[in-house]
Structure formats: C-alpha cells, structure tokens
Structure 1
Amino acid sequence: MTTVDVAVVGAGPYGLSAAAYSIEAGLDTQVFGRPMYAWARHMPVGMLLKSEPFASHLADPAGEYTLGSYCEAHDFPYATYQPTPVERFVDYGRWFGEKAVGDRITPVDVSLVDRQDGEFLLTLTSGEQVRARTVVMAVGFLPFARTPKALAPLPEPLLTHSSQVHDLSEYAGQRVAVVGAGQSAIETACLLREAGAEPHLIARGPELIWNADPVGKRSLVSRVLAPQSGLGSGLRSWVWSERPSVVPFLPAAMRRRIVRTTLGPAGSWWLKERFTGITTTLGARLREARRAGDGVELTLQERSGGGQVRVHADRVIAATGYAVDLRRLDLFAPALRASILQERFAPLLSRRFESSATGLFFVGLAAAPTFGPLMRFVHGTRFAAATLAPALVERVTGLRGDHVRPLATAPRPRTGEPSCR
C-alpha cells in the first residue's frame, strides 16, 4: 500500500495551494479530488467572480502562477475592477495545478478517512487505499450548504440550493423564487432572467445592499482611513484580510460575529444595472413552504408588522449561504470523528490549522471560525498554505525521523500589480 507524507483531500484553490507549498518543502504529497470540480460544476454558467482579480490568485511559494500570469500566458485581459468569468477561473485553477502540483494529483474522490497505527488510512471511491502521515482537509464549500428550515418540506427538484445550480437554461419559461440577498442570490436572479426564466427575489432585509462603485484614484487620507485589501476597502477588512493570524487570539464569540458580519449580503456594483426590473419581495420572513400542484407556495410574514404574503412559483432556489458543520461531512470514521474537538460543530484548530486529532489539518471555509472571513475567499490561500507547510514539515519529520529542505520564502502578490493588458 502506498504511503505518502501528506494527503490533501480536495483539489480546489485551497487544496492545490496547500499541495504546492508542501511539495516545495520536500514532502511526498498527493492531492485527491477532481481539480476545480466544485467551481466547474456547482457554479452557474456565466457567473463572474465577485473578488477582484488581484484577490483571486492561488498560492505557490515563488508567486509564479498567479491569475495575472495565467492571463498573460493565454492573452486574456486582466485588470482591476474587471470581473473574472468563472469558466476562466476554473481553467486557471487547472493550469495552476499542472504547473505547481504536476502529477501529484489523483483525480479520484476520498470516501473515508480513518486512523490506524498512528497513520491515516484513506479509502478512495475507486476502492483503493492510501496511507498518509498527515492529512489536509480542503473540502471547500459544498458540504456546508445551508437551507432554511422553512424550506425543508419541499422535495427535489422543486427546491435546489444555489450550490447545485449550474445550467440555468433548464429554468427557461418557469417562475423561480430565489431566497437570499447576497451576491449569489442577486446574480442567480439576473442569470435566470437572461436564460428566459421569471425570477422573484425574496429577502428578509428591507432593501438590497450594493457594493460601492470602484474609485480609480483615492486621496492619501482615504487610503489611510480605508485601505484596500483582498476583502475590500476599510480598516477592519484590511486587518481580517492581511493580518488573519490575530484572529485566533480573539474570544470565540467575537470570531463568530466577525465571520457573520464581515462582508455581509451585498451585490457587486456591476450587477446593479442588470438587476433592474426583477421582481422582489423585501422585508419579509419565510414562514412556510408547501407543494401546490406542480409548483410551490411560499408564505411570507412582513417584518414591518403587516400581514402575510403568498408567493407562487414553479421552483425555489435557496441562495442562503454556508455554515461550517462537521456533521455534514461524512468522510470520517467514527473514532476519528470523536477525536476532533469542535465548537458549534466547527473544528477547533491551532494557530497552524491543526485539529485536536494530531496530524489532521483543515483549511478553507472549515477554518473560518478560527481564522476569520479570509478563509471564505480565494485570497486566503497564501496565508493558509504558508502557515500550514511548516506544521506539516514538523509532523512528518517527527514521524519519519529525518529532515526535509527548508521552505522557500514566497513573495506576496501586491494589490496594485499591473494589468496584463
């Protein structure tokens, strides 16, 4: 049976970045999963990334394989405030994997992670098994999709979470209720209308919030008071984006509040014009959902103290975000799961992403309750990979009883890097 130093479960931005750093450190590393699968198959066709291009790089130690480098190599435009199509981002991630990870990717999913004799035993969906000295869980967002309890009575395909929506042409000619107020909800509504459907956006807030139009030139005072970062402008956003190592020192309740309130539901500035004319019901709480004939009837309670509103639709899309909950991650053997200390069903992690199960690490969204909102975005891949790699080296060398070469120092891409075109 093959034994590797590091098994990375997941081949999205965080998994590929963690592998790039681990390989550079001299560790025998293998990634399991289909590269960029969730982005390729669980994002709607035609979607544009909300994050700016400079905040959408995957991370390799030398800083060579950025989104800008990819665009330059393929003669694509790359400029600040020019949204990146999801199809291009998927292709970039796969290009990054080829360049920075190479043949260390096994495009097969992991079905079970167990622990035996001080090592981890991974069972693949192909039936093969692999042993690993350490494991990095980079499972992304799909396991943690959150749907309101009021929608639970609806069966598939009447109800779909936005993470399961890909080809919107199948909704053409249908009335579709979209529940949510964030980028996913607003953009899904726009894409539905452009695909020939009749979207109806439903949100609890009294109004939709829009991110401000970008400003090309800012005064020195403005840049000091509201510095630009990978999570947008503002001093707090800059701290959570550029100094995430301070977040684990904060009380747990404060960390949860930061994750919940930082960059709350809002639409990108470039969506506002496209959204004009779409039917909305705002300031209403979802009370009940039931099947009505071949479609759905939603009962809404007006928050202003008014009466109830009923909305009829053919189908419902819940663009209601994600919540880290290890109960939804069915990869762990019972004994291993029991050894992972949790807080509100999120893994308790060290300042180097290690769980209480020694040698088992979590990166990406699963690490957001410890490291803050940066872990919800691609911009966090460099911090996660650079912080994780030394911990992997220590664990592996302690188990192997030898040493590996020191990790190369990596330049951090600057927010003001020039455009390719």
Structure 2
Amino acid sequence: MIQPVAVIGAGPYGLSTAAHLRARGLPVRVFGEPMVSWREHMPAGMVLKSTPAASDLDAPEQGHTLVDYCEAAGLRPLVTDEDLVPIETFVRYGAWFQRRLVPGLERERVVSVATASGGGFALKLGSGERFTARAVVVATGLTGFAHLPPALAEAAADAPAAGPPAPVTHASRHADLSAFAGRDLLVVGAGQSALESAVLAAEAGARVRLVARGRGAVAFGAPPWRQPRLRPSSPFGNAWSLHVFSYHPGFYRALPAGARHFGVRRVLGPLGAWWLRERYEGRVTTQEVRAVEGVTRKDEELVVRLRGLNGRTEEVRADHVLAATGYRVDVAALGFLDAGLRAALDTSRGAPRLGAGFVSSLPGLYFTGLPAAASYGPVMRFVCGTAYASPRLAAHLRRAHG
C-alpha cells in the first residue's frame, strides 16, 4: 500500500499546500475543520487587515482567487486596495476553495504523530484509526500559540474551576464581543487584533479602555492613496523592505537567529489598518503605559495595576481584561507531536528550524504558516505567504518523498 502524505490543518496554509501536493500526483490525506481558526477564534464583524489581492489562498491552477469566488457566489467584486474583506466572506471563500481543490477533507482530529519504526510517521486519529504516512505537513495555524504575558497569565491561571470565569482571557477565545455590552472592558495590546477588538466591543455597547505599552504605541497605517509612489509595491504597502520580505523570504534563513526573531516581532508589527482609525477615535479610551504589572479581583471588579510612562503605578478597574497580545510559536504546545519527536526537533526559541522547502531537521516533517516565520520571515504570518510556501514545500516533498 502506498503511504500517503498527511497534512494536519485545513486553514489557508493547509489547504493551499494540499492542493499543490495533489496537483503533483501525491496521495494526500488532509485532516481538520475547514477554516476553523477563522470561524471560531476571530470576532464576528471583523474585517481582514489585508487587501483582497493579499487574501488569496494559493492554488496550482488559475480560477481560485478571492475575486473568482466573489464572481462565482454573485458577490460584489473585491478588486482594489480600498475594498474591505469581511471575515464571513473570507471564511466562505476558504470553504469554496476546499470543496474545489481539496475534496475528501477528513474532519478528524490527529491525536498523535510519532516516528514509525519502518520509516515515515505513525499517526493516530481521534476515531482510533492508525496509519503510516511517508511525510507529515504541520499547518495548524495559530492553534496552541496564544500568548499571555506573565502578569496576565498568572491572573488567568488563578481562576477557580467552579466560580467566576477567568478575569483575563486571550482575544482568540472570543468570537462574539457583544457579550461585553454594558461592561467595563480593558483591552491590552496595540496591534490590529487589539484595536479592532476594542472597536467591535465598543460598537456593541461596552465601555472600552485600551492599554498599550510605549509612547505612540497606537498607530494606524496610511491609506492606499497615500502610499509612496516611487517605491516597489507589496501586499503590505510600498517599501523596499516590505517588497523583499514579501517576495523573497528565502533569504531570511541566512540571517543570524537574533535578527530573524527580531524581524518576526518588529517588521509588519503592531499597526492598525487605515480604515479602522475613524471607528476607533472617540469610541475607545487609550492609555499608554510602561507595563501591566498584575490583575487582582476585588469584590466583583478587577483591579489592574499599570506602571505609567512616568514610572508611577496606578490602578484601574474593569469587569474583564481582554489580552490581544499575539501568538508565540513553541513546538512544545503541539501536543499531538510525540514527546520524543519534539525532543529530536532542532528548534530556535521554540520555533522549528526549517531548511529549504520548509522541511524540519527530521526528514519528512514539514512546517508551514506561522511556525515557519522564524525561518522564512514575517510574511508567513499572513495569508499571502501561501504563494511562496505552498509550491516550494510541495516541490521539495515531491522530490524527497515522491
């Protein structure tokens, strides 16, 4: 029996990679719920920060872009950089892509992946089925990587199993921010997730204060008509650096580890979308601080200790703290990978070190999407990174394991 390739994850990177693998004639089994992170861990009413052209899943053939989906679904075309992409439209686009290019998706949970004694990888599914795969592609997106700073993580962990809910939650746990209507909500963060969550909660009737670290931490990008004209374009704006990061991420692996991790954090870092500024200003109270030092519960309220830019500590009250504090890759969080397999992986600050074709230090085990950012740069945090990653991963896997 020919061993298949197993793709774990059915979001943009998993679906794009699976489509390219199948186009190269490889037997592929794809596991997961289609677009599950986008459906269940992004807030209702969200609009993608990326432009329509930067929101395409990558296909091995023409006819599967977001524009193609809009035309097939009878929707208004999304073609210019000023057109906004609602989350609901993007989720439906991903499901349409899956039905056309990745039929037979198995909505099964992969329980474990271990090295098989005879070569390849031994997988166990939630149904109890066991099989061997010649190669495994991990494309699980943001799952397991939600990051809480220590001061907030301590408060979240202190919530009793029975009793009041956790006083602090990560933004990825809230698909409906209208639950905070009429309440005092404190949002921590300065990126698009923080700013948009604050706006959506405020528009739903919450009283929202956003706390961001550093002076001038809250900022919004320039609209398309104000982009520099004499610089090369990219999905993120017109700039030489953004053009290189977007279209030539292969060079990124040659950088020193410190520079690579710094670039992932800072390039394309916290910045609100240009279209969000008008909705934000006047609705959300902004407070810039040096640090959030802790959260305690007093009676039915939360007391949040903040260290201001002047070094003084103050306390503010809230009903809930929403941490839009991003994601941090750590293969230790991928519990479906066997402990021995994880221990054998070559990592850098928790992220897998990847070689050409997105292969890890264990031949046959590939990572794509966010876990690949530390090796291939910040574009791997965005949907448009599928255009670089998917064909190259599929080509490498076909040569090595076809």
1:178-327 to structure 2, matched below 5 A, reads 178-207=187-216, 208-215=218-225, 222-224=228-230, 226-277=231-282, 278-305=284-311, 307-327=312-332
1:390 maps to which of 381, 392, 395: 395
Q: What code does the residue aligned with 1:358 have?
A: P
> How many Å separate the matches in 2 of 1:232 and 1:287?
35
Q: Does 2:68 correspond to 1:39?
A: no
Q: Does 2:115 correspond to 1:106?
A: no
TM (norm. structure 1) is 0.90
> How many Å separate the matches in 1 of 2:317 and 2:128?
46
Relative contact order (C-alpha < 8 Å, sep 6+): which is higher? 1
Question: How many angstroms does 1:3 deviate by?
Answer: 6.0
SS in 1 for 2:328: coil
Question: How many angstroms does 1:79 deviate by?
Answer: 2.6
Q: What code does the residue aligned with 2:132 have?
A: R
Question: How many angstroms does 1:299 deviate by?
Answer: 0.4
Q: Which residue pairs with 1:163 in the alignment?
A: 172
Structure 1: give runs of 5+ residues left out of the alignment.
398-421
Contact kept, 8 Å, 1:348 with 1:370, in 2: the verdict is yes
CA separation of 1:3 and 1:202: change in aligned 2, threshold 3 A: farther
Contact kept, 8 Å, 1:295 with 1:313, in 2: the verdict is yes
1:357 maps to which of 337, 355, 362: 362
Question: How many angstroms does 1:87 deviate by?
Answer: 0.8
> How many Å separate the matches in 2 of 1:31 and 1:123?
13
> How many Å separate the matches in 1 of 2:290 and 2:354?
37
Q: Does 2:61 correspond to 1:55?
A: no
Q: What code does the residue aligned with 1:214 have?
A: P
Contact kept, 8 Å, 1:182 with 1:265, in 2: the verdict is yes
Q: Which residue pairs with 1:152 in the alignment?
A: 153
> How many Å separate the matches in 2 of 1:266 and 1:237?
14
When structure 1 is superposed on structure 2, of 18-27 and 343-352 the one drifting more is: 343-352
Q: Does 2:114 correspond to 1:79?
A: no
SS in 1 for 2:61: coil
Question: How many angstroms does 1:281 deviate by?
Answer: 1.2
Contact kept, 8 Å, 2:55 with 2:383, in 1: the verdict is yes
Q: What code does the residue aligned with 1:291 have?
A: R
Contact kept, 8 Å, 2:209 with 2:285, in 1: the verdict is yes
Q: What code does the residue aligned with 2:14 have?
A: G
TM (norm. structure 2) is 0.94
CA deviations over 1:240-296 (Å, ceiling 9, x no partner):
001111111222221112111111111111111111221121134111111222231
> How many Å separate the matches in 2 of 1:351 and 1:119?
19
CA deviations over 1:21-70 (Å, ceiling 9, x no partner):
00000000111000000100000000000000000000111132010100
Question: How many angstroms does 1:169 deviate by?
Answer: 1.9
Contact kept, 8 Å, 1:202 with 1:284, in 2: the verdict is no
CA deviations over 1:178-226 (Å, ceiling 9, x no partner):
000110001001100111111110011222111012218x7xxx444x2
Count of aligned pairs: 389
> How many Å separate the matches in 2 of 1:232 and 1:128?
47
CA deviations over 1:362-388 (Å, ceiling 9, x no partner):
000000000000100000002111110
CA deviations over 1:110-140 (Å, ceiling 9, x no partner):
1211111212111122222232100000010
CA deviations over 1:369-420 (Å, ceiling 9, x no partner):
00000100000002111110111112323xxxxxxxxxxxxxxxxxxxxxxx
Q: Which residue pairs with 2:135 in the alignment?
A: 134
Q: Which residue pairs with 1:119 in the alignment?
A: 120
Contact kept, 8 Å, 1:142 with 1:163, in 2: the verdict is no
SS in 2 for 1:69: helix
> How many Å separate the matches in 1 of 2:134 and 2:186?
47
